[in-house]
Amino acid sequence: MGLFGLFTRKRDTYQEVDVDAKPSMPTVQVSRNHKDAYERIFFQQISEIKEISAKEAKEIFAIIKNEHGRFVDLTYLDVVFERYFRGRRWHWPEYEQWNATFASLGKYPSRWPLMESSSDVTMYDVFGRMKVGELKEFLATHDVPVPDKTRRDGLERLIANMPRLKDTDLWQAKAKERLQYCADTRGKAVCHAFFRHIIDQAKTEFETERRRSLGIQKETLRFVYPEDEKFSSIALKRNPNARPPFYPTDLTMLSPGIPRLDD
């Protein structure tokens, strides 16, 4: 996360309103300098994803700029994922470098996304939404005796103790469905983190310039999750001049020290 807050904060922080904003939709107020920073960082960052062509990058930017309330309105995230990332093998070098760092530590930041979803199928995946009658029917189909008045938890225990449960047609169908889902949605959380990271970097650039113009020099690091401070320390050790976001999904904030009028 970049400067000033979580993505769930209200979008009333910004001051200027685009004159071409659609009147029927809530406007997102973003200064021109902020938008310029976003555009510059957007094209720099997306050029790092080699699987996205320059033409596609321009199309994505047009979607964000013209169709979905500007870049601080995150309604475009699913749209862009579905059109340009779903079912596609792609790589984000910055994410992969940090992922390797965190993997070597055996620890990850609080909000760190994974490129690959688990394809493991659980009892709940297969039977969790079944009614009691359907569970009894499944057991009867596989010749498992069911004592009278057996409640749901008892039925689930009977199913879990079935030999070769994972070889049943129902389990195999759910496993196949799960594998397809994982293939289709591979990297969705990472894709969302990528576009949010661009927003955070643009905020940093914009706020840095704004604070310099105001003569603000003193800043304090603040951590939403104290346990993530160690990851920021790694980034600062690599580059003492680094500013948040130190890594994708970083929530570290820089709070300005406002000079006193009598100083």
Contact 252, 234 (CB under 8 A): no
d(CA 234, CA 113): 19
Contact 92, 190 (CB under 8 A): yes
Sign of CA dihedral 13, 200, 34, 59: negative
pLDDT in tens, 190-243: 999 999 999 999 999 888 887 777 777 777 888 888 899 999 999 999 999 999
pLDDT in tens, 150-165: 999 999 999 999 999 9
% of the chain beyond a pLDDT of 90: 62
Threshold 0.75, pTM exceeds: no
